Amino acid sequence: MTNDLKPGSVGNNITSLFPKTKPDLPPEFRAVYETYYKKNRQGETAATSLSSRMEHWLHLKVAKDVKHSQGGDPVTLEIGAGTLNQLPLEPHVGQYDIVEPFGELYRGSPHLHRIRKIYNDISDVPVTNRYDRITAVAAFEHILNLPEVVAKGVLLMSAKGSMRVSIPNEGTILWKLGTLITGFEFKRMYGLDYQVLMHYEHVNTADEIEAVMKYFFRDVSTSVFGISKKLAFYRFMACTGPDSGKARDYLAGLKDRK
């Protein structure tokens, strides 16, 4: 797989996959979508509770860099903050902004008082903002225009900033097998095929996400919850050395195409 992300290029490279589109969600799935989505994020069912305990690894990896921090720094932007369940693992982080379009997820959260600013989209973040950390926990697999989001994030980072991204190891056999338990429960609850919902939700594989990160960052350190990238449930990337030149060129190319 190539890391050539120049807008407008053709052939078998990753840029030809973006922006992606989602399939239509059948009416019977849409009827239960919001309710199940929130239950899933909060681990309210037996299967999702087990999944949430395993996903704790994703949160721990993202928070590891600030585990022993005692000051008001670093300034953080979390993309796809959901129910704000990352915040308990980062008690010493001061200024904390989030990007989350689904307000129902964080509404009423006991951690809401710690949020400085909430944005519906990363494009809403003032270009003058600077973040020492940009984080995302189980979010990048959902984003249709991922290279655009990452490029905009790069331009919001301080020179020595880091983007810390944890994701399900989508696209591998172990992750596929891991979804079977949740699938059985979903079938029992709603009589529907869970893989239809997964196909709607997870539009990017772990390898695609890693390729995007390696294009916009000079250093990407990867670790997995498992044996290897091919045999793991989750993947984590600590990305440093943001390449603002590549980010600007990519976004300019998108603008020229519109």
User: Tens digit of pLDDT for each residue in 11-43?
Assistant: 346 666 788 998 888 999 888 887 777 666 655
Cα(24)–Cα(21) distance, integer angstroms: 9
Within-domain flag for 11: no
Q: What is the CATH number of the domain that holds 248?
A: 3.40.50.150
Q: What is the total residue count of the chain?
A: 258
How do strand 117-119 and strand 217-226 relate by DSSP bridges?
Answer: unpaired
* Confidence check: pLDDT of 6 > 80: no
Q: What is the pTM of this model?
A: 0.86
User: Tens digit of pLDDT for each residue in 186-211?
Assistant: 888 889 998 888 888 899 999 999 99
Could you tell me the strand order of the sheet in which 96-99 lies? Answer: 117-119, 96-99, 76-79, 131-137, 157-168, 232-242, 217-226
Within-domain flag for 4: no
pLDDT at residue number 69: 55
Structural domain range at position 225: 26-257
Within-domain flag for 10: no
Domain count, the chain: 1
pLDDT at residue number 121: 98
* Confidence check: pLDDT of 73 > 80: no
